[in-house]
């Protein structure tokens, strides 16, 4: 039994007034207590109950507010025992098993028709879609949306409203949802098992066709579409919708807005999935063509069969995009190949009607299979490489027709019930038989529990040469007229001694069976009487090859693709096609093999009553379902068995981090001993058993405790790994940065050295060049040497080049160069002629006087020598004859002598007698005019400025203003005197 801890957990969520949330918690395992608990929970609005990890679901026949987003969040990531029983819990368990253990899982939803299987599959799909993709990635959202929308389309084309069920699945659907390594859906695949093979006048097939498609089409489609399809809104106008001349009113909802909504939702879903406009239009054309086929009637004129309403042939020609004569010929004639000869055999009226109905059935079946294939083409996983993207895991969801027992059970019910036998056998093998066999194989003490193994019934149906399907196929292959009675005789001959088969011939006193018509099979769900009427026709491929060629030759490419075998010529059709029974058997075997390789989770659906009441719970009706679903045996096995088992290596791989003896690797003799040591260290040794290859844990509480300890240790390990990895990343980043810095520094040094070498190469021989390298272009420097370039440009060519030019000059020439430079800096751009091109003589009264007037020069020399002795000046800077202008604008001839200490004004008429002496430190500025005149104003501190005009120039246009200004400025720089104010005005 489960541990008290889990009992307490359950009690926290649901009190005892709602009954036991898990049937394993029953005090006494009996059918009475099981049914009482199931009934109590149904009446209290608790429609889900656990049997361990199996969910038992009772159809509430009403909408319940337990599937919203808040409910999804309550079950997301939780263990089964942590919340009340729910479909979301089993869906989350399957998702976690897939994501955590990288295992393919499947959810098998079983139960009879009307028990709520289809709704359960929809809620499971919605939950899986809701809990994935937290980052809202566009591609994952697209896949999820298409998977959900495919449900809408498949229901519209494959479900029916019957007297037992408003949304009965007339096809089986198995959907694989593919997930990437992150647990996000990346695609899917749908397998369908369409069953309806009934004649049209029995109308069972067209319940789905009418209610989910034609009603939407007739009442919901726009008028323009209806006109293009040549159909009208009145359902009474079409024979396939009528039974016995009247419409099944109870199966039709006349509300137009509801049909509009259904039509719009299906059309929108097809667009979202990816159906093109032409494909959707072809679907409507096929549906309309089937409607019109039902209205085709045949008559007889003598020995000739005719079509009475020929206008419909033209409509069919337009809808099927083929030729009118070909349509008429295919409906009235059958082409037969006898050896090399080809003959056309005319149909009788009955054969033509039969062929018409067979064509309608086949068109719809091909349409449905094409839709499934088209959806698969769109949603399947594309361009997925496991080596790049990780392992692709799968969750399968099976929603298939439930067990059916009608008043008249035919070939369809036989196939449906065989399918349920196969699924029940899988359930027995996985949950009951394998459970007990595994305990015996592992050497675990075990008390055997009896259960009904329905393998004997499965063999009764599918066994080679002896099974019912084999007998049916043999009867269909017999030469001559084959009847259903011949098939029944074959069953009686081969199965007379089988304990689960009987007929009226084998049990003459059983008046519930009719002679030459009925046989009974004792299924796991109870006894079912089948009528053999129609078995032969429904098992054979009854569609004439002429119809296949007709539709293959259509100009509509979509319709043509549905009939590939139509390309064969008449003489090429020699191989007998597989029968419906063989095809269905092969698909069921493949389905069971697919499910058997996955970890299964079960939802067992129960129908509480046959009147669809939300309040009525029929005890006997539900007891029967509990019995044939094997729920009580499941409870007994769960009570006696172990909740969890795993191989020792896999168990250690998952939980070794919670024990110091096993982390990171153990040194014990075997994995079995290591697991024992781990369990003992955690205090769970009393709740575990150790088999030959696996460890068995009895209660979920132990497993959950292990998971909690593992989660805690994983967090610590992750933090440790993050620390180590972050340190590694930091060191790697540091090494990269350091290497980059070394490279950068080396590169900078290389660039600097390269630049210096290039500068050295270019300016290596500048001393020997005529212009000392002024024509040499400086190379572009790297960024780091831009300031260096500015310094170099300041040094060369300005200073070094100037120094190179003047270093060979005499001291007198050097002084003259300095004066010229000072003059240029002060007056450049102010006067046109500064006299820079000629040599500056300075003492013009002496130099020019010796050449022009020796007596005058001698007098001046005598006076200047006396002044030098008296004032102690070192040298004469400038002397010249001038014309003085006083404040009364009176001009007089005078001479100016400028030494390195004084400025003298002399009278040339009196042998250059000094008239005025001005110390140079009293001279504050010098003003000259910008014109060609030689006017100079000496500014003094006492404001007694001296205004003179230089004269006696030889030649006459010689300018001495620049020489005067430059000489004084050079003197000021040499003696560090206060800078003279030079003004040009």
Instruction: Answer yes or no: is 302 a known binding residue.
Output: no
Give dist(CA 167, CA 118) in Å, integer: 8
- Answer whether 85's CB lies under 8 Å from 66's CB: no
**Residue 420: strand, helix, or coil:** helix
Q: Tell me whether residue 557 is annotated as binding.
A: no
List the structure tokens of 56: 């038992």
Q: Do the Cβ atoms of 640 and 2 come closer than 8 Å?
A: no
**Structure tokens that stand for 126 in this block:** 């919605």
User: Smallest Cα–Cα separation from 421: which of 452, 397, 466?
Assistant: 452
Q: How far apart are CA 527 and CA 405, in angstroms?
A: 9
* Structural contact between residues 376 and 109, judged by C-beta atoms closer than 8 angstroms: no
Pull the structure tokens for residue 281. Answer: 């239009």
Alpha-carbon distance of 896 to 269, in angstroms, equals 114
- Say if residue 114 carries a ligand binding annotation: yes
Distance of CA 744 to the CA centre of its chain: 41
3-class DSSP assignment, residue 694: strand
Residue ranges of alpha helices (H) inside 274-348 are: 277-295, 311-320, 324-332
User: Any binding-site annotation on 117?
Assistant: yes
Cα separation, 425 vs 432, in Å, equals 10
Q: With 0-12 CB in 10 A as exposed, 13-18 as middle and 19+ as buried, what is 717?
A: middle
Please tell me whether 856 is known to bind a ligand: no
**Angle subtended at Cα 699 by Cα 695 and Cα 705, rounded to the nearest 5 degrees:** 85
Provide CB contacts within 8 A for 328, sequence distance 6+.
307, 310, 313
| 326, 553 contact by CB (below 8 A) | yes
How many CB atoms are located within 10 Å of the residue 67 CB?
18
Q: Are 161 and 251 in contact (CB under 8 A)?
A: yes
Q: Residue 584 and residue 172: Cα distance in Å, rounded?
A: 11
- Cα gap 227→231, rounded to integer Å: 6
Is residue 659 reached through a cis peptide bond, with omega within 30 degrees of 0 on the bond before it?
no
In the structure encoding, which two tokens stand for residue 804, read together?
Answer: 């190179």
Residue 333 CA to its chain's centroid (Å): 55
Q: Is 952 annotated as a binding residue?
A: no
Binding-site annotation, residues: 111-118
Binding-site annotation, residues for ATP: 111-118
């Amino acid at each position: 039994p489960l541990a008290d801890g889990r009992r307490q957990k359950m009690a926290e969520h649901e009190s005892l007034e709602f009954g036991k949330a898990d049937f394993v918690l029953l005090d006494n395992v009996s059918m009475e207590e099981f049914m009482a608990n199931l009934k109590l929970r149904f009446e209290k609005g608790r429609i889900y109950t656990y049997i361990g990890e199996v969910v038992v679901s009772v159809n509430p026949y009403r909408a319940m507010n337990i599937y919203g987003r808040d409910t999804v969040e309550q079950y997301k990531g939780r263990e089964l025992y942590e919340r009340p029983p729910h479909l979301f819990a089993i869906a989350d368990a399957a998702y976690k098993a897939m994501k955590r253990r990288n295992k393919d899982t499947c959810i098998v939803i079983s139960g009879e028709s009307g028990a709520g299987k289809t709704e359960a599959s929809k809620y499971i799909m919605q939950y899986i879609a809701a809990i994935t993709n937290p980052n809202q990635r566009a591609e994952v959202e697209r896949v999820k949306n298409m998977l959900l929308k495919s449900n809408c389309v498949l229901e519209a084309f494959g479900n029916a409203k019957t007297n037992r069920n408003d949304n009965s699945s007339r096809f089986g659907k198995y959907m694989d949802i593919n997930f990437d390594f992150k647990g996000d859906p990346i695609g899917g695949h749908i397998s369908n098992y369409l069953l309806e093979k009934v004649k049209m006048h029995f109308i069972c097939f067209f319940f789905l066709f009418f209610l989910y498609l034609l009603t939407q089409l007739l009442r919901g489609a726009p008028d323009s579409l209806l006109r293009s399809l040549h159909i009208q809104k009145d359902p009474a106008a079409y024979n396939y919708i009528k039974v016995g001349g009247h419409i099944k009113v109870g199966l039709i909802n006349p509300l137009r807005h509801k049909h509009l909504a259904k039509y719009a939702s299906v059309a929108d879903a097809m667009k979202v999935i990816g159906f093109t406009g032409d494909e959707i239009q072809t679907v409507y054309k096929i549906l309309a063509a089937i409607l019109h086929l039902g209205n085709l009637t045949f008559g007889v004129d003598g020995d000739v069969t005719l079509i009475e309403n020929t206008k419909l042939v033209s409509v069919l020609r337009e809808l099927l995009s083929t030729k009118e004569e070909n349509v008429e010929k295919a409906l009235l004639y059958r082409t037969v190949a006898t050896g090399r000869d080809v003959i056309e055999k005319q149909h009788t009226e009955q054969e033509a009607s039969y062929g018409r109905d067979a064509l309608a059935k086949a068109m719809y079946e091909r349409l449905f299979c094409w839709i499934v294939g088209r959806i698969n083409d769109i949603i399947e996983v594309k361009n997925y490489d496991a080596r790049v993207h990780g392992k692709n895991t799968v969750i399968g969801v099976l929603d298939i027709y439930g067990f059916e027992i009608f008043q008249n059970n035919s070939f369809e019910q036989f196939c449906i019930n065989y399918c349920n036998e196969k699924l029940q056998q899988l359930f027995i093998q996985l949950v009951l038989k394998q459970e007990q066999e595994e305990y015996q194989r592992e050497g675990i003490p075990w008390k055997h529990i009896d259960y009904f193994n329905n393998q004997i019934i499965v063999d009764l149906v599918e066994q080679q040469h002896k099974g019912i399907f084999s007998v049916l196929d043999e009867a269909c292959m017999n030469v001559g007229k084959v009847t259903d009675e011949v098939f029944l005789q074959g069953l009686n001959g081969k199965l007379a001694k089988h304990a689960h088969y009987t007929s009226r011939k084998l049990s003459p006193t059983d008046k519930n069976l009719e002679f030459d018509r009925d046989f009974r099979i004792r299924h796991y769900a109870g006894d079912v009487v089948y009528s053999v009427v129609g078995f032969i026709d429904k098992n054979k491929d009854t569609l004439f090859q002429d119809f296949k060629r007709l539709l293959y030759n259509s100009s509509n490419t979509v319709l043509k693709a549905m009939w590939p075998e139509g390309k064969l010529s008449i003489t090429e059709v020699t191989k007998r096609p597989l029968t419906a029974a063989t095809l269905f058997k092969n698909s069921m075997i493949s389905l069971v093999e697919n499910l058997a390789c996955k970890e299964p989770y079960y939802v067992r659906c129960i129908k509480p009553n046959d009147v669809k009441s939300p309040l009525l719970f029929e005890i006997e009706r539900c007891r029967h379902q509990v019995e044939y679903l094997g729920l009580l045996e499941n409870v007994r096995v769960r009570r006696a068995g172990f909740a969890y088992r795993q191989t020792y290596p896999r168990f250690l791989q998952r939980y070794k981090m919670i024990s110091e003896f096993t982390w990171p690797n153990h040194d014990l003799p075997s994995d079995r001993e290591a697991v024992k040591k781990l369990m003992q260290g955690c205090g769970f040794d009393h709740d575990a058993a150790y088999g030959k290859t696996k460890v068995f844990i009895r209660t979920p509480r132990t497993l959950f405790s292990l998971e909690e300890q593992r989660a805690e240790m994983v967090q610590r390990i992750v933090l440790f790994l993050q620390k180590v990895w972050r340190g590694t990343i930091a060191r790697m980043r540091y090494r990269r940065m350091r290497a980059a810095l070394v490279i950068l520094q080396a590169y900078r040094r290389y660039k600097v050295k390269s630049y210096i070498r290039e500068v050295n190469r270019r300016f290596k021989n500048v001393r020997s060049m005529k212009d000392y390298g002024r024509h040499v272009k400086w190379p572009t420097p790297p960024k780091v040497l831009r300031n260096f370039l500015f310094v170099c440009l300041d040094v060369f060519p300005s200073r070094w080049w100037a120094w190179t030019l003047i270093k060979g000059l005499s001291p007198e020439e050097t002084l003259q160069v300095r004066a010229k430079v000072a003059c240029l800096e002060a007056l450049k751009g102010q006067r046109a002629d500064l006299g820079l091109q000629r040599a500056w003589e300075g003492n013009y009264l002496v130099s020019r006087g010796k050449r022009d007037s020796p007596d005058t020069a001698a007098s001046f020399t005598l006076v200047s020598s006396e002044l030098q002795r008296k004032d102690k000046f070192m040298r004469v800077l400038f002397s010249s004859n001038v014309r003085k202008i006083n404040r009364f604008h009176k001009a007089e001839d005078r001479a100016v002598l400028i030494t390195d200490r004084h400025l003298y004004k002399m009278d040339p008429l009196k042998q250059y007698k000094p008239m005025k002496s001005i110390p140079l430190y009293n001279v504050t500025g010098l003003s000259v005019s910008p014109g060609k005149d030689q006017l100079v104003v000496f500014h003094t501190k006492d404001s007694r400025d001296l205004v003179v005009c230089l004269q006696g120039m030889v030649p006459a246009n010689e300018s001495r203003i620049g020489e005067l200004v430059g000489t004084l400025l050079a003197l000021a720089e040499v003696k560090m005197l206060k800078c003279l104010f030079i003004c040009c005005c």
